[in-house]
Every structure is written in structure tokens, then in C-alpha cells.
Structure 1
Amino acid sequence: MKRFVFFVKVIFLIGNLGFSQDNFIIQNKHKSDKIKFQLINNLIIVPVEINGVTLSFLLDTGVSKPIIFNYLNVSDTLKIKNTESIFLRGLGEGESVEALKSSNNILKIGDAIKLNQELYAIYDANLNLAPKLGFPVHGIIGNDIFKDLIVEINYSKKYLKLTEPEAYRYKKCNSCETFNLEFHNSKPYIDTEITIKNKQIPVKLLIDSGGSDALWLFVNDSLGIKSSNKFFNDFLGHGLSGSIYGKRSKIDALHLKSLVLENANVAYPDSTSVLYARMVKDRNGSLAGNVLRRFNWVFDYKNAIATLKKNAYFKEPFSYNKSGIELAHDGFRFVKEVDDRILREKVGISNNDAAMNNIKVVSDMHYKMSLKPAYLIVELRKNSPAERAGLLINDVLISINNKPSHQFSLQQITEEFYEDSGKRIRLKVDRNGKELTFSFNLEDPY
């Protein structure tokens, strides 16, 4: 299946906040629990219960403390208490954002529970991941789980396994590789190597499961870390402090010891957007979801090691969005549909009849108005096939290749834009109440 880059990335640089004295424990005799997750745009979405309310959280190794996006006043439902206002700073060129810091919260993931959890509620409505993912995401969680438990991430079978360190037993694995972890502000880094223009370069990378790109590198001319002549400028995502732009290209190879990914995607963010991220000594970038998902991982923060083994995604080629369109879920719109229930009653069609393709002629059709998801063009790459065809930001997608857009998830539609170059795409859109049709061919962006 084609994979693509999620264009929203939120990285929280909270740093030096301290830890609660309480730890996560597993409430069963095995001291271990397995939790299924959803993998959406290379991102792990896991169910988390806070103060008795089950929510969907992004699992992000790049965040220190749990974050709740309070655009729906979730904190009222969660009965969040003991709050104080603070300001957080992250990626992007904008200002810090205000958040409420709360303590004494009960947090559960499967059978793992912590009774005194600090978390942060952010009220900025722009920090809402749901429209960009097409899936409800209420917050982000990271270090508090990883520091207390051994965390296995099985990307291929889509589950987490959480185990108390004293109960974990390593299995012999000749095909695995193990890296030492280095921590800065509670975030994990590894030393590895990349190849650019046939030169092998040592790099220190943040392990960032909260980003869906493959690899971010910070330009460093003295080390030879810079884009090749084949690149394109693009919107890279939203940080906590604003939008992030930069160049996208490819590198010759990413070396995770004996495990080598060739012709990997890379983004070079503008230096002003990652000023705070570059404050970590010798950091050269981030290793994100489109690389991480190609392996199954065991994170052992107590012993400061991470073990990885390639999985079924390992050999999938790296690709880019060949349309230039970035979509977001934008609420719902009314769609006129044939009322299948009334139609069946009127002409006496049974489910078996329909399965046998019996044809009934009906002159008096009955319709119903249904609320269906609306998908909005929110970013449009300059000089892309979609822009040249005449599409605009804020166009609402009605159909793709003559099929109603509401029949697809946001991820399914976006996957169409990662198909082979030359594929014809036909889009019908609503522009200020007027239906317009555009066609273009997918093409490599660089």
C-alpha cells in the first residue's frame, strides 16, 4: 500500500518539567498488557483513559508530558483540577502558547495505570489534529509511558505491549539491531549514519514517533548535510509555534547499523522554524514515522537501549505526494442520496434479489439528505499539477475519479495522490456553491 506524509507535526519542547513520584504499574499478574492501536499516516493512535474518560491519543516519543487539545472543553468533562497557567514553546516562527498545567490525574492505557499524572491542556483551536488526520485525536502522550515501562511497538501487527521492567525477558534475535539511547529533556536520541552524495555522515537524531515524515535533517554545510540539486519547496507541517516550511528531497541511504534504507525521503526545515530544536547539542535532525514503521521496536529507557527488527513495511519504496494537494476534514456537508430502505419496500427487492442483480424500474425515486464528511484543500504546492490545473485552497472535494469523496476516508483519498506518475486524477469540487471539475496527471515533484 502506498504511504504518504502527514503534513501536520506538533513537537512540544517542554523540557525540565520534572517527574511525578508515582509510576505506571500493570494491574495484572503477568505485569504486561497488549493494546491494539490504529496506524494513521504513519502515526500511532492509542486509547487512553483519563479520569474515567476514554480518549484517543497520539503516541509521541518526542513529547515530555501528556498534552490535551482542549478545543472541545475536554478538561471540563475530565474534571481537571489543581491547574496553573504556563506558556509552551515549540517548532515554528510564532509565539508561545498558553496552557493549563494540571496534576493528580488518573491515567490508564490498557492495564497500565498511574494515579498522579501531570498533564497540559492547550486551548488554541488551531492545535487540533483531527481535521488533518480525519480521525478524532484528543491529545499526545509520550515519555511518562516510556520511562516507567518497557514498550514494544509492533507496527506490522499494530499493537503496543507494555511490560514492567522487572518482568520483561529479552528473546534472542540475530536479525535485530540495538542502539544506545541518549536523553535530552526526556527525549530519546540515537547516533547513526546517513549517506549523501556518496559520503557517509554520522548524525544524532531524535526518535520522533509523533511525526509522519521519514527523516528531518538540519542543514550543516561543514558536515555535508544539505539538499541535493533535486528538491522542491514545501509546507512541512504545523509546530506548536507556527507553520514550518522547507525543502524535500532524497538521501542516498539511512544506515541503522546493518539495516539500510536506500533512497529515503528527507526534509530540510527552514532554520528559523527549528531554532529551539537545534539547541540540543550536536543534534542533526529527527527520525520519524515513515522510517519507524518499517521496523518493530522495543524501547527500554531504564537501560537506555532501543532494539529494532525490520518488518513487512521495510521494502516499501519511499514516495511523495504527486498532486500537490493537502486535504483536511472540514466538518460535514449535506448529500442527496437515494433512500435504499424506501426503494426496497416500494418494489419488493430483497437483499438476495439485489445480490442476484435483479433490475427493477421505479419512476418515483425517494431521496434523503445525509450528513457526510467534507474534505477541504488546505495546502497547495506551488507549480504542482493540481495548482496548474486551477484548483484553489478552500475548494471542497465532491468526487475523485467520478466516485463521491464521502465514500472514502481522508487517508484513502490522499493515498490516491501517491500513486504512480502519469496517473490521471479527476476532481469535482465545490467552490463557493459552484461545482467545478478539474483533471491533471500525477508527476514527481522534483
Structure 2
Amino acid sequence: MRLRHFWILWFLLTTTAAFAQQVEVEEFKFPASKNFVKIPFKLVHNLVVIPVNINNSKPLNFVVDTGVETSLLTQLGKFDSITLNNVRPLSLRGLGKGEGIKAMNSSGNRIHFSGIEAKGQQMLVLMENIFSLSTRLGVEIHGIIGYSLFKNFVVEIDYQNRVLTLFKPGTYPKKRLKKASRVPIFIEDAKPYVKAVITSEDGIKHPIRLVIDSGLSTTMLLYLPSIAALKIPQPNIEAYLGRGLNGEIHGRIGRVESLQLGSFLLKRPPASFPDSISIQHALNLKNRNGNLGADILQRFKVVMDYQNGQMFLTQNYKYGSPFYFNLSGLEIVTPIPGLNYYTVSDVLPNSASSKAGLIKGDALLTIDGVNCATKSLEEILSLFQSKPGRKLKLQVKRDSATIKTTLYLSDVI
């Protein structure tokens, strides 16, 4: 983000915002004579990424996140610029420790993609790039879009073929639901909720209510204080779980025996248990027990029908795959998004990578003799998540030295 340009734009708009006329909010409109629109997407870290234009901008990469009400602009690239309308400052709160962050609220914007457009749209602009999505996902990520995309369409997310399709209400072909299982959902405060059941290691079944969160790349977050008699499973590990609007989220990760979602029973999925300080804001809401993430959703073709309070799930080729948790013990980032250069940002204690002597700051050079510069981040992560027991020979750069080591993938939970 070019901060100088951004700040100048902010001052200009706040100076004139008081005199600007309110722009009527419009819903997204389809191209004439069309009942559906297909949008190919990138699947990165289990997250759906689509191109979106804001006003007169070039296509920007936005994560599709069912857990977000208002579209967020999180970051601009070095050579990107964007014009926003009717801007005023505000503070945002969410998950994480801390007091929230400074942001801007912008109204009266035109959002358009794949022939679909809506005017008078609201956007929130983060004053700092707290999520670092681009370095973590390996491609430039500019924002997050959610409720405005789902509220007036039937939305099909085909994770297997990487196509998101929007249908006008009442036009979704019933034959596409022939093998699907219907799951009731509940829309509250612009967020979709689903009822599920987890079975803990002691065999007790716990009914839970989860936010369907396609912007959460892992399986699920469970808010331990909100679920009676549930304990963190053994074994478990302490881990950094991510970043919320209020700051870093820490907690523990362990496996539950099963997750019942509609007619589907998913066995031994990992669950993240944030510490109570990180989720205090969510606990105060008292209407949820956690979040259902994309590592569950991506095992299905998902059809979301907000208007009729229903979700349809059709299992795909990933449905029966085991749930592995970070078999390498590495967290990998790309310091320059779009460039195939990868460094270690974190190493889990007692993991395969710590036993191999890898440390934070190491730059990956080769894996089994293959130059990492020829691989995308997704390909690198797939190698590190392939299967427990696999042996990978690595070369890394540490300061001015080249270090060789062998990594034996293992599941720490």
C-alpha cells in the first residue's frame, strides 16, 4: 500500500464527506438475460480468492469469507491505487487480544466483477495490514468480501473444480442437488450459523452452534468456555492460531473424535481452542460455540441459500482424506508475494522441522533436489502435508550458509 497516496486520499475524502449526498445502496445485479454467472477462483490455503473491481480499480484479489458482513480492503500493492467515496474513521473489534484497530468506513462505492455489479456499496478500509494475507498465501490479497455476495443469490462453491457460481433465487437446477444433503442454516447479523455435534475423546456428544466461516483456512475453532463439560483433548499442542481484528490469537490444538454435520460424520478432525482472552468479544455474544472452517467445507461442493435458510453439501474426492495437522511443523511465508521465494516464519516445538534443525528465517532452496523457485506456495505446502513418515531432503539458506537436512513428516497430534 502506498501510504502517502492513501493518507492524502483519506484527508481529501473526509474533508468533503460531510457535504456528500447519501448514495442509495443497490443490490448486486446480473447481466441482462442471465440467471447465473460462473467465476473461476484460486484456491489458496483452502481459501477461495476471486477478482473484484472497486470503482475504477484494476481487478483486485478478494477472499470470499462467509464470516464477514462488510467488505474489507486490507492491503494495496506497491503500484496499486484506488478511489474510495465518502470516507470517515472508525474503530473495529473482533477476535484477538487488544483494543481493536483503526479503520475507515467508505460508502457509495461500485463493486463489480464477471459482469455483476452493485452501486452504493459500503467498504471498511484497514489502516494497517494486520492479517498479512499476501505473504501467508503467496499471492497478492487486497481484501475480503462476504455477506453482500451471499445474501441475494444461491451460491455454489465447487472446491474440486474451483468455480464459484451465483444463481438468481429460484433458478438453481434441482438436478444438481440429486446427491446433496440438506443442512438447515440460520442467518443472524449477516452471518450464517449451523448446528453440529462433536464427540469428545470420552465419548460424550456435544451439540454446538458454529459460524460457517469460509475465511478460516483450518477445520474449526471451538470456544471452550461456551461448551459445557468439554475439555481440551489429549494430546494437544500450544499454537499461534492466527490474527483477529483485535490482535494475535493463541491457544491449543487437539483432535475431537468426530464432527457430525448434517448426515456426514467426519472422523478425528483437529480443532483449535483459542484462549479465553482472545475470544472474549465472541463469548460476550453468547450465540455461538465456534467457527466451521474451510478445511471442512473444501471436502464438499457447497451450495449456500441464505434466503431459504439452507445449505446443501455434496461430498467430493477430498471427503475421505485424513485430517493432517502441519506434518512439517513449519509456517512458510513469501516475503514478496508473487515471487517464488519462501522463508520459515515459525517452527513448532518438538515437531519434525525442529528435530531437523530448521529455524525461523531459513530460506527454502530445494526439496528433494527440486528448486523451490519452480514451485508455487500451494505446491510447497502440499509436499509438507503429503503423509506422515515421508522423508524430504531439504536445502536451506541461513545467513550466508547453505544447510542440508532431512525432514521426516510426522503428526504431532
Aligned twin of 1:374? 341
**CA RMSD of superposed structures (Å):** 2.2
Deviation, 1:424, is 2.2
Aligned twin of 2:309? 304
Contact in 2 for aligned 1:28/1:111 (Cα 8 Å) = no
Aligned pairs (5 A) from 1:75-94: 77-94=81-98
Distance 1:103 1:32 in 2: 27
Aligned pairs (5 A) from 1:116-265: 116-171=120-175, 173=177, 175-197=179-201, 198-220=203-225, 223-265=228-270
Compared CA separation, residues 437 and 126, structure 1 to 2 (3 A): farther
TM-score, normalisation: structure 2: 0.88
Deviates more, 1:411-420 or 1:185-194: 411-420
The one-letter code matched in structure 1 to 2:192 is: P
Contact in 1 for aligned 2:70/2:124 (Cα 8 Å) = yes
Distance 1:308 1:318 in 2: 19
SS of structure 2 residue aligned to 1:62 = coil
Residue by residue over 1:130-169, the C-alpha shift from the partner in whole angstroms, topping out at 9 and shown as x without a partner, is 1101112110000011112221111122111112225445
Compared CA separation, residues 73 and 376, structure 1 to 2 (3 A): closer
The one-letter code matched in structure 2 to 1:418 is: Q
Contact in 1 for aligned 2:25/2:121 (Cα 8 Å) = no
Aligned pairs (5 A) from 1:338-349: none
Aligned twin of 2:326? 321
Contact in 2 for aligned 1:374/1:397 (Cα 8 Å) = yes
The one-letter code matched in structure 1 to 2:166 is: L
Residue by residue over 1:172-226, the C-alpha shift from the partner in whole angstroms, topping out at 9 and shown as x without a partner, is 7454222322233211101121111322221101100001101211114862322
Distance 1:420 1:31 in 2: 43
Contact in 2 for aligned 1:217/1:225 (Cα 8 Å) = no
Contact in 2 for aligned 1:396/1:429 (Cα 8 Å) = yes
The one-letter code matched in structure 2 to 1:151 is: V
Compared CA separation, residues 410 and 315, structure 1 to 2 (3 A): same
Contact in 2 for aligned 1:330/1:373 (Cα 8 Å) = no
Aligned twin of 2:50? 46
SS of structure 1 residue aligned to 2:254 = strand
Distance 1:379 1:206 in 2: 28
Distance 1:27 1:59 in 2: 21
Contact in 2 for aligned 1:233/1:247 (Cα 8 Å) = yes
SS of structure 1 residue aligned to 2:260 = strand
Deviation, 1:319, is 0.7
Compared CA separation, residues 21 and 372, structure 1 to 2 (3 A): closer
Aligned twin of 1:391? 358
- Which of these residues, 392, 400, 403, is aligned with residue 367 of structure 2? 400
Q: Which blocks of at least 5 consecutive residues in structure 2 are unaligned?
A: 1-22
Contact in 1 for aligned 2:340/2:377 (Cα 8 Å) = no
The one-letter code matched in structure 1 to 2:253 is: R
SS of structure 2 residue aligned to 1:148 = coil
Deviation, 1:378, is 0.6
Aligned twin of 1:441? 408
- Which of these residues, 27, 30, 45, is aligned with residue 26 of structure 1? 30
Asked whether 1:67 is paired with 2:68, we answer: no
Contact in 2 for aligned 1:324/1:386 (Cα 8 Å) = yes
Deviation, 1:269, is 1.4
Deviation, 1:402, is 2.4
Deviation, 1:258, is 1.6
Work out the percentage of aligned pairs sharing the same amino acid: 31
Distance 2:332 2:176 in 1: 44
Contact in 1 for aligned 2:25/2:108 (Cα 8 Å) = no
Aligned twin of 1:101? 105
The one-letter code matched in structure 2 to 1:144 is: S
Aligned twin of 2:285? 280
SS of structure 2 residue aligned to 1:331 = coil
The one-letter code matched in structure 2 to 1:425 is: L
Distance 2:344 2:211 in 1: 31
The one-letter code matched in structure 2 to 1:329 is: T
The one-letter code matched in structure 2 to 1:401 is: D
Aligned twin of 1:344? none
Residue by residue over 1:26-68, the C-alpha shift from the partner in whole angstroms, topping out at 9 and shown as x without a partner, is 1130232111111111110111121132111100000011111
Aligned twin of 2:396? 429
The one-letter code matched in structure 2 to 1:273 is: S
Aligned length: 389
Contact in 1 for aligned 2:100/2:247 (Cα 8 Å) = no
Distance 1:423 1:247 in 2: 25
Contact in 1 for aligned 2:25/2:119 (Cα 8 Å) = no
Higher Rg: 1
The one-letter code matched in structure 2 to 1:387 is: S
Compared CA separation, residues 234 and 104, structure 1 to 2 (3 A): same
- Which of these residues, 308, 331, 334, is aligned with residue 336 of structure 2? 331
Contact in 1 for aligned 2:130/2:243 (Cα 8 Å) = no
Q: Which blocks of at least 5 consecutive residues in structure 1 are unaligned?
A: 1-18, 333-370
Distance 2:24 2:395 in 1: 53
Compared CA separation, residues 429 and 204, structure 1 to 2 (3 A): same
Aligned twin of 1:113? 117
Compared CA separation, residues 310 and 418, structure 1 to 2 (3 A): same
Distance 1:179 1:423 in 2: 37
